[in-house]
């Protein structure tokens, strides 16, 4: 991994202004952190830069393993590493990923061109990715960047992760790590800390101009291709979002159409059942009319000698029983009404009224219950009769 060009160190006020600016941005250029975590991220970075001024916060593009690129905050610089009584500076980059601080940051060792990552190393992969127990056991919200750097220095002091490229054998003795000088006197503290000694090496004066031009052209071409790919991916993502939205609308319409179709089918079945009932009733009435046409004619010719009791004749035992029960029920209803009127006029004593109403009500209940049973039996008989006449009926279902 090639580190970015070193930049001048920022003082505390500039760092606060920088963090307040980048964390308050809105819109497409805003950083992908949740609003409730931005304040804690700012505090973590301020504490880190106050404790370790060699680490400077900045924003840069981070590429995930799945190819996604996102603009994130990072702390770039060096951390102190005590080794055999001498303090060395180890260049690292601490990336604050989107889920920080609920999840740990991503830490890389950032060697210079004349440094090589030691292989194998218990905490650093060949690509520079750092994995120590503090990162693996990250606990929100107690874990923070200052304690992370302390644990990094402690872990690296037991087994330094870098060694000089000029040596063929990776000796654990880490010469040329950039030995840290004695701290300046207090009167020079306001002058700030020197930049990281692991900045990008400047091209030598004797480097071939054609080679420099070719490398710059290749870098420019790579940047253009990367920009085109990012633009194309955003266009495709927008197109896919539109397709997903259209798919959701179509799925909703499909559900509505299926619901309407089911309601129409249920309504059709209900109408067919009602049609069957109407046809059955029509058949019954037509049969009754055919059977009683002669009686109606006779009654029409003998209007002067019509006997009310002889107008209606019960066709069967059930009809006769239904007529008797209905007549008795209505007669009892009339008697109870007459008793109410008599009680209001004072013609009947109250106790006698209650006794008669109780007896009549019990008798009326039995007549109504008998009528309900007779009505059910008549319905069953009608259904059986219709089923028997169905093959000869002129009404199709």
Judge whether 79 and 90 are in contact, CB under 8 Å: yes
Give me the residues of the chain with pLDDT under 70, please.
Answer: 1-10, 165-208, 295-296, 298-312, 389-397
Residue with token string 């060792």: 109
130/133 Cα distance (integer angstroms): 10
- The pLDDT tens digits of the residues spanning 81-106 come to 888 888 888 999 999 999 999 999 99
Judge whether 44 and 144 are in contact, CB under 8 Å: yes
pLDDT at 115: 84
pLDDT at 181: 40
Residue with token string 């499909």: 254
pLDDT at 300: 63
Domain ranges of the chain: 12-163, 317-388
User: Where on the phi/psi map is residue 27: left (φ > 0), alpha (ψ -120 to 50), or beta?
Assistant: left
pTM of the shown model: 0.43
pLDDT at 380: 87
CATH pick for 12-163 out of 3.10.110.10, 3.30.465.10, 3.30.365.10, 3.50.50.60: 3.10.110.10
pLDDT at 290: 81
In the chain, the DSSP E strands lie at 55-63, 69-83, 86-96, 106-109, 115-117, 162-164
CA 120, distance to chain mean position in Å, is: 44
SS3 content of the chain, % helix, strand, coil (to 5): 55, 10, 30
Give the three-class secondary structure for 260.
Answer: helix
pLDDT at 232: 92
Cis upstream peptide for 212 (omega within 30°): no
């Amino acid at each position: 991994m090639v580190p970015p060009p070193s930049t001048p160190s920022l003082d505390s006020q500039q760092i606060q202004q920088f963090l307040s600016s980048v964390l308050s941005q809105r819109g497409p250029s805003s950083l992908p952190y949740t609003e409730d975590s931005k304040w804690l991220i700012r505090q973590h970075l301020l504490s880190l830069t106050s404790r370790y001024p060699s680490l400077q916060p900045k924003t840069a593009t981070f590429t995930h393993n799945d190819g996604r690129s996102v603009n994130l905050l990072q702390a770039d610089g060096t951390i102190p590493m005590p080794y055999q009584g001498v303090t060395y500076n180890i260049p690292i980059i601490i990336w604050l990923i989107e889920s920080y601080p609920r999840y740990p940051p991503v830490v890389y060792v950032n060697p210079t061109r004349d440094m090589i990552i030691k292989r194998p190393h218990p905490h650093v992969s060949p690509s520079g990715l750092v994995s120590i127990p503090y990162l693996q056991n990250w606990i929100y919200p107690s874990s923070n960047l200052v304690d992370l750097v302390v644990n990094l220095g402690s872990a690296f002091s037991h087994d330094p992760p870098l060694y000089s490229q000029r040596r063929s054998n990776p000796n654990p003795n880490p010469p040329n790590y950039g030995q840290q000088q004695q701290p300046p006197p207090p009167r020079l503290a306001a002058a700030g800390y020197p930049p990281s000694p692991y900045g990008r090496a400047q091209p030598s004066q004797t480097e071939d101009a054609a080679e420099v031009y070719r490398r710059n052209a290749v870098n420019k071409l790579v940047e253009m291709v990367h920009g085109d790919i990012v633009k194309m991916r955003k266009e495709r993502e927008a197109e896919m979002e539109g397709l997903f939205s259209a798919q959701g609308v179509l799925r909703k319409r499909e559900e509505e159409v299926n619901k309407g179709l089911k309601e129409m089918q249920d309504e059709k079945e209900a109408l067919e059942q009602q049609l069957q009932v109407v046809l059955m009733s029509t058949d019954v009435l037509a049969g009754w009319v055919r059977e009683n046409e002669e009686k109606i004619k006779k009654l029409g010719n003998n209007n002067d000698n019509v006997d009310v009791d002889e107008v209606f004749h019960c066709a069967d035992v059930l009809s006769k029983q239904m007529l008797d029960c209905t007549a008795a029920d209505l007669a009892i209803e009339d008697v109870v009404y007459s008793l109410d009127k008599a009680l209001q006029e004072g013609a009947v004593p109250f106790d006698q009224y209650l006794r008669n109403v109780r007896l009549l009500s019990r008798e009326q209940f039995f007549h109504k219950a008998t009528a309900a049973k007779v009505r059910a039996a008549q319905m069953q008989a009608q259904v059986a009769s219709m089923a028997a006449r169905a093959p000869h009926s002129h009404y199709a279902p």
